[in-house]
Chain A
């Protein structure tokens, strides 16, 4: 009946933390791939012009880059199974150059694919329940979520169920596939922001209302790029059952009124800036009230039917797990250091989540080789219930590791260079592909990131510096979030030469969300590395007890930092 029915064999247990496809889902992907195959054919025989073909190519995740076609694969709400990760390894090995690049939106990119091979790649991806649908184009993009979903102690509801509902609802949405511009949605099941909620077209957090019922706090109109804007709350008490109706209302108002004639003014953030949030809210509420809410209601039947397709983790009580971990930490300093930096508490007392850093000194941030993918897929199967999460900071997470097994896992990760103890430290740099790959870039970003990482490679120095994030962008589109990083580096083009602007004081998360300030005139690559060295030294001299870089910066203001970098010039 379909090509993939062997995969959905009901005897195999369901992958945890994500929606498992049924025959209808596979059939849909087959129809989608066949459509794209025919679009490529029509493009090649001239029936479609490049202008007509481009939106369809983009909505299938295919970009034309500097060297070749890039294929962007969605990892919905950042959850992979071991089988999916092996599938990605296969693509990397046989259709690319042996590696893939994780992005800041829970996607993975393959930078060296051939257009004519794309339908075959898509067919292979479909067999492991992956697709590239709407990873680009002026439509609703991959729905992202909290990498600690289903793990975090502060979680009110599992955001992945709602993220999956939004994934399905937004897939080939008949009304919203030709929006003024791209549209990005992120959701967390907690009220503590781990998703940078203020910087999405729509960001969703979960709170408890006075009756102790979960409600969504909906942020709209945030974004980075050329005009960085912090979003606003449009509604703080949305009952989850009305999620889709409310999203339709928000996006319908945008689709009707967003700018269509200026690329730089066509995001929802600009519309909301122009109208004002109160006016926008009024229009959305009017639309919402006019809708037949029953048609959109997330009934118990719908919730159950989606939830039933999610595998549930089987967590067991493990006698002495915490004591065993404690003992391992005492016995091995390097292990202890890794646990200090790269772990996150689990709601179950005998489990822990661990962050797999993809920020190896000397390597491109976010890159992973096919061999590493295969190795991690095996380790996830053995130690974390076969589930891997992708973070919005280009790292991976194993969510459900037994505390007594963490040490063995660490030893195994080390063999594959996957145990770098730098999560949240200065070498955990977020970096876009930049001018090495991207057609939009003004300057190289990977070389800058590598140089900074190498400058601070001493782990003791990194620990002394403490939590600090750096984002390096090759252009103003800000894929690496430089606007909202403590230190942001932006590549600019000055008369054909690569220069770099520094931004300081950015912060990504709700309570202190801040867009960084420009430090001064753009610098050359060598100068920017030297400037960062000076900035860090200055901070180390000036900081007071328990201060992180961002605290010292906020206390002193930008001027002393500016002097340090530009005074001698």
Chain B
């Protein structure tokens, strides 16, 4: 898998841990939510921490962990399942989370601006992919009809010429 940010491939230092907790955590661990929620005392963790959060749970569940989290990864089971779009906005707008918000699962380049406009900053994409499509779609639309998290100049119901 490749990690994409602002249309460019970047290094991914994070390691996803889904099954069981190792005795010592890697430098940049992404824990599945079920593992995160079993941590007895997350206050003791003094290192960057990420969570992989399922699309069928309420993002309010992240509240107790929020201060510790540097990264929240959301899941698109298929590109047609848009639940994580709503979760992303709730995470940005209700939880006021400012760290990395990562899209995982199946997403298509054509969805790139939808993703960034609801607050995603990074995307995991398959290696067998045409990066040029992602680059093009990252900034394809210069105009949008809603205010978004990005506060773009030409977006909103009153658009500037």
Contact = CB atoms under 8 A, between A and B. Distances in A.
Given A174-B114, A260-B81, A302-B158, A292 B93 contact: yes
A302 B90 CA distance: 25
Nearest to A258: B83
A173 B133 contact: no
A256 interface: yes
A255 B93 contact: no
A56 B161 CA distance: 28
Contacts of A172: 114, 141, 144-145
A551 interface: no
Among A38, A168, A174, A179, the one with the most B-chain Cβ atoms within 10 Å of its Cβ is: A174
Given A178-B80, A256-B87, A306-B157, A171 B110 contact: no
Nearest to A251: B86
A305 B161 CA distance: 13
Contact of A174 (B110, B117, B143, B157): B117
B86 A24 contact: no
B157 A178 contact: no
B105 to A, nearest CB: 12
A290 interface: yes
A174 B148 contact: yes
A10 to B, nearest CB: 12
Nearest to A48: B108
B158 A305 contact: yes
A450 to B, nearest CB: 39
Contacts of B79: 52, 55, 178
Contacts of B108: 48, 52
Q: Which of B82, B87, B108 has the most CB of A within 10 A?
A: B82
Contacts of A178: 79-82, 85, 111, 114
Contacts of B130: 47
Contacts of B157: 165, 168-169, 298, 302, 305-306
Interface string B101-113: 0000000101101
B93 A176 contact: no
A175 interface: yes
B78 to A, nearest CB: 9
Contact of B140 (A35, A179, A290, A302): A35
Interface string B24-49: 00000000000000000000000000
A169 B158 contact: no
Contact of B142 (A27, A256, A301): A27
Contacts of A255: 82-83, 85-86
Interface residues of B, number: 39
Contact of A42 (B115, B133, B147, B160): B133
Interface residues of A, number: 44
Given A55-B80, A172-B145, A31 B161 contact: no
B123 to A, nearest CB: 14
Interface in A145-184: 165, 168-179
B158 A301 contact: yes
B154 interface: yes
A501 interface: no
B89 interface: yes
Contacts of B141: 28, 31-32, 35, 172
Interface string B134-154: 001100111111111000001
A549 B108 CA distance: 53
A169 B117 CA distance: 14
Contacts of A305: 157-158
A414 interface: no
Contacts of B87: 256
Given A177-B114, A255-B86, A171 B133 contact: no
Nearest to A175: B85
Given A28-B141, A172-B145, A175-B82, 11 more contacts: A24-B143, A31-B143, A42-B133, A47-B133, A56-B110, A172-B144, A175-B118, A176-B85, A177-B85, A177-B114, A295-B147
17 contacts: A27-B143, A28-B143, A31-B141, A31-B143, A32-B141, A34-B140, A35-B141, A38-B136, A42-B133, A138-B80, A174-B85, A174-B113, A174-B118, A178-B79, A178-B82, A252-B89, A255-B83
A-B pairs with lowest CB-CB distance, top 6: A178-B82, A174-B117, A174-B114, A168-B145, A28-B143, A175-B85
